[in-house]
Amino acid sequence: MRIIEKTIEMQSFMTQLKYSEKSIGFVPTMGYLHEGHLSLLQRAKAENDIVVLSIFVNPLQFGANEDLSTYPRDFNRDEKLAQEAGVDIIFYPSVEEMYPKSSSIELNVTKRVNVLCGKSRPGHFNGVVTVLTKLFNLVLPTRAYFGMKDAQQVAVVEGLVEDFNFPIEIVRCPIIRESDGLAKSSRNVHLTVSEREEAVIIYKSLMDGKIALEDKKMDIEQVKLQITNTITKNSSGTIDYVEILSYPMLETVQNVKETMIIAVAVRFSKVRLIDNMLINI
């Protein structure tokens, strides 16, 4: 496994691989790898000749009230996990390496961001597309892998690739769940014992909503109300949002249409959980 820290070395090395007609699978992360990341690496390993993992805590996607300095970091641990997962190259640049000077061009995402989590994180996705544009140009991937746990990010990335004609296939990877359905997340450890038991209702409410929409037993507003009531009555969590939107455009829909997403965010005492489910009618 090769570790590269310099952008010029990364781009030069990946260009050589590209000319050798090797397929390149890319998993961009901010490190502190967990089971979700490892599932993306496993998929990339199965579908490509070369697997590249980037680890970079991107300051541009942190808001004023989000503490960049406390974001968890453990490169030695990540390196070991990457080695075990069969990663070929880790790209591990510093902030100074990625952003050596102030940019003369700024990317501004205008669609798919003013809903769900993006509504309360202005500018966040501008930072995401900026770093991904740089990473895509450095890594030159054939395919890039993103987990559907953050379905809004996947939608934004798909828009970036389409709008700027990146020759990259974006691979949507399913949410990894516990045996009882709770979406796996490093944040789950912050749930109390009782909250952990209650949190299962999030998945159940999504499943019930999906079935109701697919069977056309309820309209969209009725399903949103049903999910809200189910979570409120069966947990101590406070709902941030329950939304049913088109996917990947993330626009309001009045009637059931071909592809939609049901997305929820619920706050417990020390953690905010998100989950979602796609519906294909």
Tell me, what's the pLDDT at 238? 97
Q: How far apart are CA 87 and CA 18, in angstroms?
A: 17
Question: Which CATH number characterizes residue 69's domain?
Answer: 3.40.50.620
Q: How far is CA 140 from CA 10, 62, 136, in A?
A: 10, 25, 5
Same domain for 75 and 21: yes
Q: Which of 142, 173, 204 is the last residue of a domain?
A: 173
The response to whether 23 counts as a known ligand-binding position is: no
Q: Is residue 83 a known part of a binding site?
A: no
207 is in an annotated binding site: no
Q: Is 190 annotated as a binding residue?
A: no
Give me the CATH number covering residue 239: 3.30.1300.10
Does the pLDDT value for residue 27 go beyond 90?
Answer: yes
- Domain region containing 193: 186-276
Query: H helices of 140-219, where?
Result: 151-163, 193-198, 200-214
Q: Is residue 194 part of a domain?
A: yes
Residues carrying an active site annotation: 37
User: Per-residue pLDDT tens for 152-166?
Assistant: 999 999 999 999 999
186 carries a ligand binding annotation: yes
| Same domain assignment for residues 73 and 192 | no
The whole-number pLDDT of residue 87 equals 98
Mean pLDDT of all residues in 169-192? 94
Residue 180 lies in a domain: no
Torsion of CA 40, 59, 118, 161, to 10 degrees: -50
Residues 104 and 213 in one domain: no
Q: Tell me how crowded residue 132 is: count the other CB atoms within 10 A of its CB.
A: 25
Average pLDDT over residues 165-187: 95
86: confidence class by pLDDT, cuts 50, 70, 90: very high
Q: In total, how many domains does the chain have?
A: 2
Same structural domain for residues 166 and 214?
no
pLDDT in tens, 68-80: 888 889 999 999 9
What the block records as the tokens of 101 is 């000077």
pLDDT per residue as tens digits for the range 102-135:
999 999 999 999 999 999 999 999 999 999 999 9
Indicate whether 39 and 156 sit together in one domain.
yes
Q: What pLDDT score does 258 carry?
A: 81
Mean pLDDT (the chain, rounded): 95
Q: What is the mean pLDDT of residues 240-260?
A: 92
Q: What is the pLDDT of residues 56-70, one digit of tens each?
A: 999 999 987 788 888
Name beta bridge partners: 89: 2, 52
